[in-house]
Structure 1
Amino acid sequence: MVYPVTPPEPTDAERARTILAAADSLALSVTSGGLRYECVALHTVDAASRLLLLDPVDPGLTAELAAAPGSGLAAFAEFTDIAPVAVRDRVRARLALSGRLASAGPDTLVFRPARAALSVDDTVRTVDAAALGAATPDPLARCEAELLDHLDTGHADILVQLTDLVRHGDLSGIDRIRPIRLDRKGLALRLERTGGAIEDVRLGFLTEAQGPYDVGLRIQELLDPATARH
């Protein structure tokens, strides 16, 4: 097969929404007092991409919010997207949200994003708040780590075959191939080269994955499209 030169990618809004869905921690900064909190396993995300922070991390913050105007306090929330596979340079993206933080009832705060900035490969991309609110997380977000680990530890032969598609059979100088990102539209591989250099390549699926149950079929379509159709 002739592999596409530009593999399909999720939109910036979709990728940002996926980071929100998959992240288990965030850094919260409140601009009024320069306060910064590390929140681990304390947030959820609702359908409008608002962050709900449970069990506020500091009583002083709760008191400050109680005295704030109805719109709450200006705040920033920062997320780091880390590759679940243990490789060098594991940061895949960073997401920064700016907006308003307010009380949403006993022991709950709500952060309403007004704007978002997605940083990938040293390039910062602005994401409109409306687009972020309308986006849905990738269907593989919650199981990505398990699926990548399965590929990394048990299917080195498949990783070589996939790399063949984009390297046209030339694997010279490549010591190891690691899977580092998976979404409904494709798979990204890291090629570790002799001397320590790394190169990331992406393969777009011919058919989008609807869930973890058909990732294997999507990969098979890439390796042998004729077989996968039967």
Structure 2
Amino acid sequence: MGDTQDWAAGPGAAQRARSVLATAWSCAVTADGAREEYVGAHTVTEDGGVLLDAPEDGALVTAALCAPRGEPSAVLEFADAAPVPVRDRIRARVWLAGWFTPVAGGPLLFRPTRVVLRRPSGAVLVDLAEFAAARPDPLAAAEARLLTHLAAAHPDAVERLTRLVRPESLHAATRVTPLAVDRHGLTLRVERVRAHGDVRLAFHAPADDVTQLTERMHALLARASAAACPRALQRQRADGDG
């Protein structure tokens, strides 16, 4: 099921892709016909290159050293998984096609020549110049901690925020969970028995750090407190009490 509410402002494709790379703990590399998984082995350069610490005796290093000009063609794949347990947990994937070259000190440097971002709404080809110039969302590094805390410690706040969601988007909802947060807004996952949809609650202004995010969340909760409780959730509570 797709989005069930008008989508508010959010990070552009280049920034979203850079955020995925910045927070991903692992990546899959396909080169010279072989696919290898690397965990905790990559870092991202300022301009979007990827430094990979591959085993010296591994197939990837061998391919890099033996290929013409030392630059084998390769594809890197990164996945962005929601930090809270939800259905269809992968929120986005990023594929980078390009070239590896050995650099001093042992790692391999990957330079992308093509970047593709796939989200539930579809795939988009990311402009290389925009990708190189983009920076991760300022909340990306803290997102997992923020969302897990909101889901575990403040379920009452999550329920209150549903007052800002259109009633039709909550029809037959069985659970509402915080799915994502960035400087522009909070995304909620509305789950039903056999389907789900995502709704986005926009902040009144972008947040550049966790302190500003706290203020933005308080503003959302204040708006929610002033709104009426959705009838759909009122009925669910009544059915549950019965």
Output the TM-score relative to the length of structure 2: 0.84
The 3-state SS of whatever aligns with 1:173 is coil
Question: Which residue identity is paired with 1:10?
Answer: P
Residue 164 of structure 1 corresponds to 163
The 3-state SS of whatever aligns with 2:88 is coil
**What are the Cα deviations for residues 86-131 of structure 1, in whole angstroms up to 9, with x where unaligned?**
1111010111010111101232000001111111116110001111
Q: How many residues align?
A: 220
Change (3 A) 1:55 1:71: closer
Residue 206 of structure 1 corresponds to 204
Residue 96 of structure 1 corresponds to 95
Residue 151 (1) aligns with residue 150 (2):
yes
Residues 94 and 118 of structure 2 are in contact (CA less than 8 Å); yes or no, is this contact kept in structure 1?
Answer: yes
Deviation at 1:27, TM superposition (A): 0.4
Deviation at 1:174, TM superposition (A): 2.3
The 3-state SS of whatever aligns with 2:136 is coil
Change (3 A) 1:197 1:6: closer
Return 49-58 or 85-94, whichever deviates more.
Answer: 49-58
CA distance in 1, matches of 2:56, 2:157: 45
Question: Which residue identity is paired with 2:15?
Answer: E
Residue 182 of structure 1 corresponds to 181
Change (3 A) 1:157 1:169: farther
Residues 54 and 61 of structure 2 are in contact (CA less than 8 Å); yes or no, is this contact kept in structure 1?
Answer: no
Residue 8 (1) aligns with residue 9 (2):
yes
The 3-state SS of whatever aligns with 1:64 is helix
Equivalent in 211, 218, 229 of residue 216 of structure 2:
218
Match runs of 1:30-45 below 5 Å: 30=31, 33-45=32-44
Question: Which residue identity is paired with 1:214?
Answer: Q
CA distance in 1, matches of 2:80, 2:169: 31
CA distance in 2, matches of 1:172, 1:118: 31
Change (3 A) 1:41 1:144: same
Change (3 A) 1:166 1:62: same
Unmatched runs of 5 consecutive residues or more in structure 1: none
Residue 137 of structure 1 corresponds to 136
Residue 27 of structure 2 corresponds to 26
**What are the Cα deviations for residues 142-167 of structure 1, in whole angstroms up to 9, with x where unaligned?**
11111001110111222122221122
Output the TM-score relative to the length of structure 1: 0.88
Residue 85 of structure 2 corresponds to 86
Identity %: 41
Deviation at 1:169, TM superposition (A): 9.4
CA distance in 2, matches of 1:57, 1:21: 24
Deviation at 1:61, TM superposition (A): 2.8
**What are the Cα deviations for residues 8-49 of structure 1, in whole angstroms up to 9, with x where unaligned?**
11000000000010001000011xx30111010000001011
Residue 236 of structure 2 corresponds to none
The 3-state SS of whatever aligns with 1:148 is helix
Residues 94 and 119 of structure 1 are in contact (CA less than 8 Å); yes or no, is this contact kept in structure 2?
Answer: yes
Deviation at 1:173, TM superposition (A): 2.7
Deviation at 1:85, TM superposition (A): 0.3
Return 64-73 or 109-118, whichever deviates more.
Answer: 64-73
Residue 126 of structure 1 corresponds to 125
- Cα RMSD (Å): 2.1
CA distance in 2, matches of 1:81, 1:133: 19
Residues 164 and 170 of structure 1 are in contact (CA less than 8 Å); yes or no, is this contact kept in structure 2?
Answer: no
